[in-house]
Structure 1
Amino acid sequence: MNPDERETAERSRTHAEASRRLEEACDFAGAAREALLAGDARRAARMAALGGDEATAREAIARIVERLPREIALASASDLASRGFSKYAGALYVQLGEHAEAASAFVAAGEVMLAAENFERAGQPAEAARALEGALRQRPEDAAPRLALGALLARHGRTEGAIKALQQIGASAPERAAALPLLARCFEEVGLAEAARETRAEMARLGVHAEPPAKEAPGGSDLKNERRGGGVVLFGRYETTREIASSAHARLVEAIDRISGERVAVKIFSGLVEGAGRDALQRFEREARALERLRHPNVVPLHQYVPEGPAMVLAFMRGGSLADKMREGPVAPARAVEIACLLLSALGEAHRLGILHRDVKPANVLFDDAGTAMLSDFGAAHLGDLSSTATAGAIGTYAYMSPEQRLGRPAGITSDLYAVGAVLYELLTGEAAEPTRGRFHRGAPSETNPELGAEHDAAVAALLADEPDRRPEDAFQARRALSALRWPEALPRRWVTPNPSERPAAPREGERLGPPLALGDGRDMASLRHDAWLDREVLVIPMDEASLARARAFARTGSPALPTVLRVDRAAGEIWVAPPLGKALADAPRAIDPAAIERLRQALATLAAVGGAHGYIDAQHVYWFDGEIELAWPRKPAPPDAAERDLAAIEALTRGAPLSR
């Protein structure tokens, strides 16, 4: 050791000893500064956190990141968190790019704004929304998290939710000026031009002239986690290679498991808590529970469930979907029946475990490297005792939905068998299945392929019987019936149409609205459509002066108890409204607690204050979802005494009287 090195080492020992003495004297800020001079950044961070010395803590954290190996830096962050210095642990995690861990630390520290920002950076906007909503439940008057929530929802396409959040920022709050430009833009996006004009008039009164550009999600729009050489590393393990697909509620990415080296598919929940996102989260968690219970060679395997995503790590299916293969052209009947039998085998095991799939369709049938068909997407599954049927309600995809499901009646085991029959019929003919009372509406399979006979037609028709009790008793019986016949190996000579999948046909390119994919409880069938751009169901109401006035009133209230107006399209003469979630009290009667009644009373009072009314507070229009009351959009024109009817219904509820049906 040369003289300079000896002198440096001696100084370091002197500062380290000084740091220990100052700690004993409870001068933690001084101990932190001496630890920095001694070159011990980890100790400096602990002492600075203990002494509340923000400046020294920042310097110590910067040195940890710059000078220490990543593993030691992460251990230091974990040490700070375990000692209760969560705010400082979060700051260190941020510098290390570990935004999910940073968000959790900031939650523990009560730093909700920082937590939300880092949840979003980690690709977990739902957790960001939950953190902000949790803060608002504790302090409803706090406008800062409400503004952050509105901006978050707007960034992720939840315009109607953003409007609700921003509208609740009081006129006297400092955040009101910042909220107005975004609120005006959101109104314009959904076609509420008058509300936008009123908002811009308020901006002019307050002197808010400049409208800032739409803010990107923190860190950009990509999934953020940790980058190490290749793609984003999710949850410290899965290195992404490409995005496979995305919807309003989930993103599916291809990734490499850095531990096993295996290629996997990571399905990440991205629906926000507001509105329909709550239902989407329940579907996501239900799918994970079903896959955890169901281990079968013809079900896409679940490798891991990551609650903090939440995310599912699934086996990667290189063979694509059955919908993709059907678009390429016809398949041999023998292959079609082989696929149907594999699906029946998977469903037989699922039914044995008490799981109904309820959404069997070509897009949910995937293939591995060897071409083996596997059933996927149990998001619509019913988990429970199948000695009784599942809850009523139209759930699934219309083209493959059994007659009883289309009517909103309970699904049973044979409802899944119908869906397999619909898939098989389409594989054999190229046409959607529409059987009618014992005969085929479009034509029997034998009319497409002369090598098929009456016995083949009968086997398919049995699966597609209108009445559930006329179908095979279970999946195993259905499989035996199909396997007992010889099915041709040759391709059909006539293929009616290349399969576009998901019939009724999705909107053509450039179109936005198509037939509904999920029918709710069937009450709004006349106006229900599927919004292909945002992957959601909407009610499309014809616009006239009365309906426009009603929509304006509902849009101005922003109450979660009232139906949400999504869009006003004057050119098309349409008003788009969010359909109700949950169950109507007519289907599932229950007592309504006083707090829920009071929230409904306040919502209707706000509606009346802007000149609106509902008019139909009855068991058909009142829904219970996620512990809250929601009202469906009125299904009839407003009566002249609508406001009086609303008041009378609330008074009756207060007295404990049942709602009219």
Structure 2
Amino acid sequence: MAYEDLRRRAAELAAIGQRDRGAALLAAAGDHAGASELLERVCDFAGAAREALAAGDPARAALMAALGGDEALAREALERIAATSPRDAALRAAADLAARGFSRHAGALFAALGAHAAAAEAFTAAHDACRAAESFELAGRPADGARVLEAALRRRPGDAAAWLALGELLARHGRTEAAVRALQQLPPAAAERARALPLLGRCLSELGLEDAARTVRDELARLDPPGQEALSSRGAAPGSAAAGAPPAGPAPVGPLLFGRYETLREVTATPHARVVEARDRITAERVAVKIFAGAAFGAGRDALLRFEREARALAQLRHPNVVALRAYHPEGPAMVLAWMTGGSLIERLRGEPVTPARAVEIAGALLSALGEAHRLGILHRDVKPSNVLFDEIGTAHLADFGAAHLGDLSSTATAGAIGTFAYMSPEQRMGRPATLASDLYGVGAVLAELLTGEPPAPAVRGRLDPAPSEVHPDLTAAHDAAVAALLAEDPAARPADAFEARRAITAMAWPERPRPRRSRGSGRPRSSDAPPATAARLAATLEVGDSRDTEGRWHDAWLDRDVLVLQLDDATLARARAFARAGHAALTSVLRVDLASGEVWVALPQGRALADEARALTRAQRARLGEAIAALHAAGGAHGCIDSQHLYVHDGELTLAYPREAPGDVEELASRDLAALQELDRNALDEL
């Protein structure tokens, strides 16, 4: 029978109420799309889904399967969309599912596409609090994840899975006391209790509650040893020692990436990328797969350029002290990197002090890597402890070239202030162009922190505060001078290049004994030849600005700029440290924390406050503000005064002024921040 005759016969069967027979006729003739339409008319949605899949239309198949309640077919269709459809088309399919009320399916598809913010909203609409919290965290919004879980627990206080998810999330973000309170809500009979015990014990130990931790360990010991080992591995928080060193040959726990990499666990996530630990099926090697996750709905063009820039830099840069690029998958896009089993320098700084000899070994490795990068025309621009990773034998590797500038170093990089404030050179802090000397400053800051236990201030007239010799009795003024050369306030006073800097520090003998242990940021000894007093540096200002900060406004003679000087107390110190850790360009910079004089110096906002120039924020400005607040909350801080008096616009860029009055604890302030952002959402303008 000719094809047109088949279609006519199928139409006749449909006309007399036998659409299923007509659909079978069309399917036999290869017209699966037509068969799907006929089956939909008789409400055979599962059949319509199968025929849509055969027709190569997984988006329609997903919708039909969702309508028919066939979860296996829906899962197959969603996987097919994520694997084969263009990203824009796949995002439209997910949005269509959400609009039709299939929020859970939409969330699964958004998550598979790396659109974690959209996935979080969809899972929230589906009342799947655990998956919503996971997606919020991957989107860089852990506070929103905690809020969703807390709301779910108010409705269902007996939801053990939600209590566990909340405890794990809080622990990962340093909210140890709150994590303990959540984990203790799990009843002994709950299946989730066993999984929570390793984390609960670790949190109690971190709080110094050893008796309680011992009780938890005793409870854990009563479990079967094989089960206990498995539970300890699953309960390890990302970045912990247990999570960083799983047993050999762990079983895959997630999807197969790019047809080759078996997902073992999620390591970390930012608003624009997530990193998973995986096993390469071909080489059996453990790798880190860094997947771009910020392009959903066109919101991450700058982040995508940064991601591609990092891949290009690593493709050029083959060096034993640089984290190696194994492969690049443009369809992700994703980078496959060598797995660093030794963790990051952040973790080592939190542990026992290293010897000065070991500190110089690490700094020398970084300078060696930077020397090769600079030779190829690559500036790193973000040298800091979290970007220093270690392999299994403890060799230091420089990571994260996402902020790198690629090009001719005879010209300087002018992308603005890039990097984490405590490790940024003075010229970067002031928005001036970065040069190779800026990278040397970053290494100097890392070295000084390894030697003294805290990030340093720039060296002024060759003096460091604190000087390494003040902290370690075996170090001398000559050691101080070697470190101060890297940290010189004037870039021209630093070594000529990375190789010269490496020769200067490795030519000296450094002690093999670690410095005495002391708390970070505690009252440090002060030398008699410390830098000039704060009063000699500050002068009365001739500027009044917008008169909002007149009382605390002073002129910094060294940096030739006005600063806001605040009196230091415990709350101000905690807030300043959170702002410095967040390091977002839309947040006002903390320039100096002086424990001796009891002062915090803060940059003054540029431009005009919204209160003085009535306007609503564009959606791009609102998104930038949301990213800044998410970074601040993740750093353990909050603002609490997001209003027209604190929002400034300069050359189209939004900056949030330092909070002038913010009474209340961090949780209360964070709640105010979220409420203010929601209000701004209602008033945000579409960009022209």
Query: Normalization by structure 1: what TM-score?
Result: 0.55
Letter in 1 for 2:76: Q
Please say if residues 462 and 470 of structure 1, whose CA atoms lie closer than 8 Å, have aligned partners that are also in contact: yes
Q: How do 1:253-264 and structure 2 match up within 5 A?
A: 253-264=276-287
Distance change in 2, residues 1:59/1:517 (3 Å): closer
Match of 1:47 in 2: 31
- CA positional deviation for 1:382: 1.5
Match of 1:514 in 2: 578
Match of 1:621 in 2: 650
Which of 369, 389, 404 in structure 1 is aligned with 2:427?
Answer: 404
Match of 2:186 in 1: none
- CA positional deviation for 1:633: 7.0
Letter in 2 for 1:398: F
Please say if residues 110 and 116 of structure 2, whose CA atoms lie closer than 8 Å, have aligned partners that are also in contact: no
Match of 2:392 in 1: 369
- CA positional deviation for 1:280: 3.5
Distance in 2 of aligned mates of 1:442 and 1:338: 22
* Alignment coverage as a number of residue pairs: 453
The 3-state SS of whatever aligns with 2:336 is: strand
Distance in 1 of aligned mates of 2:651 and 2:87: 40
Residue 576 (1) aligns with residue 649 (2): no
Match of 2:151 in 1: none
Residue 352 (1) aligns with residue 375 (2): yes
Please say if residues 540 and 575 of structure 1, whose CA atoms lie closer than 8 Å, have aligned partners that are also in contact: no
Distance in 1 of aligned mates of 2:362 and 2:60: 56
Distance in 2 of aligned mates of 1:520 and 1:248: 12
Residue 425 (1) aligns with residue 489 (2): no
Distance in 2 of aligned mates of 1:108 and 1:323: 38
Distance change in 2, residues 1:113/1:296 (3 Å): same
Match of 1:301 in 2: 324
Q: How do 1:10-409 and structure 2 match up within 5 A?
A: 21-23=1-3, 25=5, 27=7, 30=10, 44=28, 46-49=30-33, 53-55=37-39, 80-81=55-56, 87=59, 94-95=75-76, 97-101=79-83, 103-104=85-86, 107=89, 111=93, 113-114=95-96, 121=109, 123-124=111-112, 156=136, 230-271=253-294, 273=296, 277-409=300-432
Distance in 1 of aligned mates of 2:22 and 2:425: 74
Q: Deviations over 1:542-585 (max 9, x none)?
A: xxxx989789x75xx56337667769xxxx994327xxxxxxxx
Distance in 1 of aligned mates of 2:344 and 2:7: 65
Structure 2 gaps of 5+ residues are: 64-72, 99-104, 142-250, 523-567, 594-601, 630-637, 661-688
Distance change in 2, residues 1:382/1:276 (3 Å): farther
Distance in 1 of aligned mates of 2:364 and 2:468: 17
Distance in 2 of aligned mates of 1:613 and 1:398: 25
Mean Cα deviation higher: 278-287 or 90-99:
90-99
Please say if residues 100 and 119 of structure 1, whose CA atoms lie closer than 8 Å, have aligned partners that are also in contact: no
Distance change in 2, residues 1:29/1:514 (3 Å): farther
Distance in 1 of aligned mates of 2:367 and 2:29: 60
Q: Deviations over 1:384-430 (max 9, x none)?
A: 22111111521111111111111111000010011111111111222
Distance in 1 of aligned mates of 2:24 and 2:296: 43
Letter in 2 for 1:415: S
Q: Deviations over 1:88-142 (max 9, x none)?
A: 67777852534412653882897573488668526355659899xxxxxxxxxxx
- CA positional deviation for 1:383: 1.8
Distance in 2 of aligned mates of 1:449 and 1:29: 92
Please say if residues 528 and 539 of structure 1, whose CA atoms lie closer than 8 Å, have aligned partners that are also in contact: no
Match of 1:444 in 2: 467
C-alpha RMSD of matched pairs (Å): 5.4
The 3-state SS of whatever aligns with 1:516 is: helix
- CA positional deviation for 1:312: 2.5
Q: Deviations over 1:506-547 (max 9, x none)?
A: 999997982235767799547999xxxxxxxx9999xxxx98
Distance in 1 of aligned mates of 2:95 and 2:586: 41
Match of 1:69 in 2: none
Letter in 1 for 2:578: G
Distance in 2 of aligned mates of 1:37 and 1:482: 83
Distance in 2 of aligned mates of 1:431 and 1:634: 26
Letter in 1 for 2:109: R
Letter in 1 for 2:579: P
Please say if residues 421 and 589 of structure 2, whose CA atoms lie closer than 8 Å, have aligned partners that are also in contact: no
Letter in 1 for 2:580: P
Residue 456 (1) aligns with residue 479 (2): yes
Distance in 1 of aligned mates of 2:87 and 2:587: 46
Letter in 1 for 2:459: T
Distance change in 2, residues 1:41/1:394 (3 Å): farther
Distance change in 2, residues 1:128/1:511 (3 Å): closer
- CA positional deviation for 1:234: 3.1
The 3-state SS of whatever aligns with 1:260 is: coil
The 3-state SS of whatever aligns with 2:619 is: coil
Distance in 2 of aligned mates of 1:495 and 1:41: 81
Distance in 2 of aligned mates of 1:499 and 1:45: 76
Distance change in 2, residues 1:47/1:296 (3 Å): same
Q: Which protein shows a greater Rg?
A: 1
Distance change in 2, residues 1:519/1:49 (3 Å): same
Distance in 2 of aligned mates of 1:261 and 1:499: 44
Distance change in 2, residues 1:451/1:375 (3 Å): same
The 3-state SS of whatever aligns with 1:255 is: strand
Structure 1 gaps of 5+ residues are: 1-20, 65-75, 132-143, 161-227, 530-537, 578-611, 624-629, 638-661
Letter in 1 for 2:390: F
Please say if residues 363 and 443 of structure 2, whose CA atoms lie closer than 8 Å, have aligned partners that are also in contact: yes
- CA positional deviation for 1:480: 1.6
Q: Deviations over 1:225-278 (max 9, x none)?
A: xxx974333333332222222333333222222333222222233346579744
Distance in 1 of aligned mates of 2:573 and 2:466: 29
- CA positional deviation for 1:469: 1.3
Residue 470 (1) aligns with residue 493 (2): yes
Letter in 2 for 1:113: A
Match of 1:487 in 2: 510
Distance change in 2, residues 1:115/1:41 (3 Å): farther
- CA positional deviation for 1:483: 2.1
Match of 2:619 in 1: 560
- CA positional deviation for 1:80: 4.5
Query: Normalization by structure 2: what TM-score?
Result: 0.53
Distance change in 2, residues 1:498/1:273 (3 Å): same
The 3-state SS of whatever aligns with 2:485 is: helix
Please say if residues 153 and 159 of structure 1, whose CA atoms lie closer than 8 Å, have aligned partners that are also in contact: no
Distance in 2 of aligned mates of 1:446 and 1:527: 24
- CA positional deviation for 1:463: 1.0
The 3-state SS of whatever aligns with 2:419 is: coil
Distance change in 2, residues 1:563/1:52 (3 Å): closer
Identity in percent = 48
Please say if residues 87 and 113 of structure 2, whose CA atoms lie closer than 8 Å, have aligned partners that are also in contact: no
Please say if residues 140 and 270 of structure 2, whose CA atoms lie closer than 8 Å, have aligned partners that are also in contact: no
